Amino acid sequence: MRARSNFIPICVTLAGLASFSVMDGVMKAASIALGAYAALFWRNVFGLGLMTPVWLVVRRRQGGGWWPQAPVLRLHIVRSALSGVMAGLFFWGTIHTPLAEAMALSFIAPLIALFMAAVFLGERMQPRAFGGSVLALAGVGVIAAGKFGAHHSPTAVAGMAAILVSAVLYAANLVVQRRQAQLAGPDEIAFFQNLFIALLFAPGAWWLAPLPNWPHALLLTSGAALAVVSLMLIGWAYARAEAQVLVPLEYTAFIGAALVGWLMFNEPVTVRTLAGVVLIVAGCLIAISTKTVPGDNGQPNPA
């Protein structure tokens, strides 16, 4: 029964992750053209423009206040700060790193997040969730082994370091995301994340984010729309399933990154990469088949 109740959140999460993969490609192109700071600032400004009417309509229909209560607002601010710095580092790293390789490096995040979910959310770590994540991480190792053997320039090494730091922040983001999704709707999450990240980057925008031309504005609007769709889909799913069920699905984003990198930037997908993908998918299938312990209602364990 529990596996059946998780089916729709799993499908919605996969759709959100696919949208994020395409958004990563769009943002890599925008970051190359404008710089990572400008691309991220304008993406959130345009995302705020897309979400404001949605937020106003939903609030009017629900008859609620325009601002959430203080504890929820703090969660929005914390996650926005994590997401803003995380995304800035990641998109800067993708300028100097192939998209699939960047995604592979970022895959340390779900494994860290599973432990964080157990510590901070009180979720019970189950053997299948842990084993599936380790198997998926082994798939990432297979891919990385073929990419990191050659000599890298200092810029490439800096790009990989930025992505690794971004991955640690992403792990914390995943844990906050679960708590946030239980207290706020997808529209609220998407609205405030775009708002607070835009405010976070606004102080340096005068110098680092000049007004984009029309082709770049269209590119950034596409990235904003994809980000909003992803945030709402994943926010909806995380309100309905445990983090340890959904976090391992993050590994499937590599498939999207590999396809987007190949189609948009002519980045090759090797046999080693495909072998790693097989391990990643297998690990996800094992992890999402986790059986919930008796009496578990899918909410964080207060103990």
Predicted pLDDT at 152: 59
State the average pLDDT over residues 182-195: 89
Element (H, E) at 138: helix 127-147
Which of 279 and 65 is assigned the larger pLDDT? 279
User: Letter for the amino acid at 144?
Assistant: A
Q: Assess if residue 114 is contained within a domain.
A: yes
Residue appearing with tokens 């959140």: 9
Q: Assess if residue 302 is contained within a domain.
A: no
CB 262 within 8 A of CB 269: yes
Asked if pLDDT for residue 289 goes beyond 70, the answer is: no
- The pLDDT confidence band at residue 77, using thresholds 50, 70 and 90, is very high
User: How many residues appear in the chain?
Assistant: 303
Asked if pLDDT for residue 211 goes beyond 90, the answer is: yes
User: Letter for the amino acid at 126?
Assistant: Q
Q: Assess if residue 301 is contained within a domain.
A: no
Dihedral, CA of residue 108, residue 110, residue 111 and residue 115, to nearest 10: 130
What CA–CA distance (Å, rounded) separates 231 from 193? 9
What CA–CA distance (Å, rounded) separates 247 from 11? 13
- The pLDDT confidence band at residue 260, using thresholds 50, 70 and 90, is very high
| pLDDT tens, position by position, 145-181 | 765 655 556 777 788 889 989 988 988 887 788 788 8
Q: Where is average pLDDT lowest: 64-68, 88-92, 141-145, 299-303?
A: 299-303
Q: Which of 31, 37, 28 is nearest to 103 (CA)?
A: 28
When divided into structural domains, the chain yields a total of: 1
Write out the residue range of the structural domain in which residue 57 sits: 2-288
DSSP-derived letter for residue 262 is H
Average model confidence (pLDDT) for the chain? 83
Q: Assess if residue 278 is contained within a domain.
A: yes
Q: How much of the chain is helix, strand and coil, in % rounded to 5? A: 80, 0, 20
Asked if pLDDT for residue 287 goes beyond 80, the answer is: no
CB 91 within 8 A of CB 223: no
Percent of the chain with pLDDT over 90: 39
Most confidently modeled range among 94-98, 129-133, 276-280? 94-98
Predicted pLDDT at 104: 79
Q: Assess if residue 296 is contained within a domain.
A: no
CB 143 within 8 A of CB 276: yes
User: Letter for the amino acid at 125?
Assistant: M
State the average pLDDT over residues 273-282: 80
Dihedral, CA of residue 178, residue 299, residue 75 and residue 67, to nearest 10: 110
Entry pTM? 0.79
Predicted pLDDT at 296: 38
Q: Assess if residue 281 is contained within a domain.
A: yes
Q: Assess if residue 191 is contained within a domain.
A: yes
Asked if pLDDT for residue 283 goes beyond 90, the answer is: no
Residue appearing with tokens 């729309």: 225
Predicted pLDDT at 281: 76
Predicted pLDDT at 179: 81
What CA–CA distance (Å, rounded) separates 296 from 148? 42
Q: Assess if residue 297 is contained within a domain.
A: no
